[in-house]
Structure 1
Amino acid sequence: MYVLGSTWFFTVNLTERRTNYLLVKKIDLLGAAFCDIKERKPYRINTVVIMPDHLHCIWTLPPGDRDFSMRWNLLKGHFSRAIPQGESISSSRSKRRERGL
């Protein structure tokens, strides 16, 4: 059940976790993505832990709001568009116009 204004815990992983250190290599771009989305669609970041290949965070949404998935979609899009292309992409990801991040 999605409760308006709830607090949520998330874990987000990169692909190829053993060799992908993109989150710490591009921490400035990741921070900019968080800030941009927070400005466009407010929410509170209670805490965030960023590791080389994944992150954990706790967000609280504003009263009357439960759309965390839209925020993640915007955040991932912002971050991935800021990263130069060049990674290996499977045909299924390519068909869905997804990056290999």
Structure 2
Amino acid sequence: MVRYRRNFVPGGAYFFTATLDDRRSSALVDHVTQLRNAFHVTRAERPFTVEAIVILPDHLHVIMTLPEADSDFPGRWRRIKSLFTHRVAASGVPVVRNHRGEFTLWQRRFWEHTIRGEADFERCAEYIHFNPVKHRLVASPADWPYSSLHRYIHAGILPADWGGVGDITGNFGERGD
């Protein structure tokens, strides 16, 4: 078995993709308040900065920066996924368990990429913000409500009609369409 090696950089910025086990699910947008709360609680317990994010029905992408002496992003993902899952289940939504009694809402792993400079950051942020269009959920990135693009527009970093220039390449941990 090939062992996947993660790149642990204290204070690093990372691009992540986290995906639900059932790719037909819309649980992330159906329960976006619980997801936001899971991020909020986790950030209060173990600080990190969300640089860019998009929440789609069955997966999310985020650029996260950790504090200077900290590289434990797996612990943060474990906490976010656990909080979200337990809150969704507590709200009465049936969540399947495996033979060991563990919830199976999320895929067990997540995809991660260490950001390597400004150009890499910009490429990943553009990918995040354009992703709802890529998945044919909206015609324009600004039409998707669950995106940090709105924060970028409000701050004047991107124009309100930003829609991506050219093709954004790379699958960033997603299956090809």
Q: Give the TM-score, by structure 1 length.
A: 0.88
Runs (5+) with no aligned partner, structure 1: none
Moved over 6 A (4+): none
**Structure 2 residue corresponding to 1:2, chosen from 8, 23, 47:** 8
Q: Which has the higher contact order (CA 8 A, sep 6+)?
A: 1
- Structure 2 residue 91 is matched with structure 1 residue 86: no
Deviation per residue, 1:29-79 (Å, 9 max, x gap) = 000000000011000000110000000000000000000000001111111
Equivalent residue runs for 1:68-87 within 5 Å: 68-84=73-89, 86-87=94-95
Q: Give the TM-score, by structure 2 length.
A: 0.52
Q: What is the DSSP-based 3-state SS (H/G/I as helix, E as strand, rest coil) of the residue aligned with 1:72?
A: helix
Aligned residue pairs total 96
Max Rg structure:
2
Instruction: Tell me the C-alpha RMSD between the 2 structures.
Output: 1.3
Identity %, equivalent residues? 35
- Structure 2 residue 22 is matched with structure 1 residue 16: yes
Runs (5+) with no aligned partner, structure 2: 1-6, 106-177
The structure where strand makes up a greater share of residues is 1
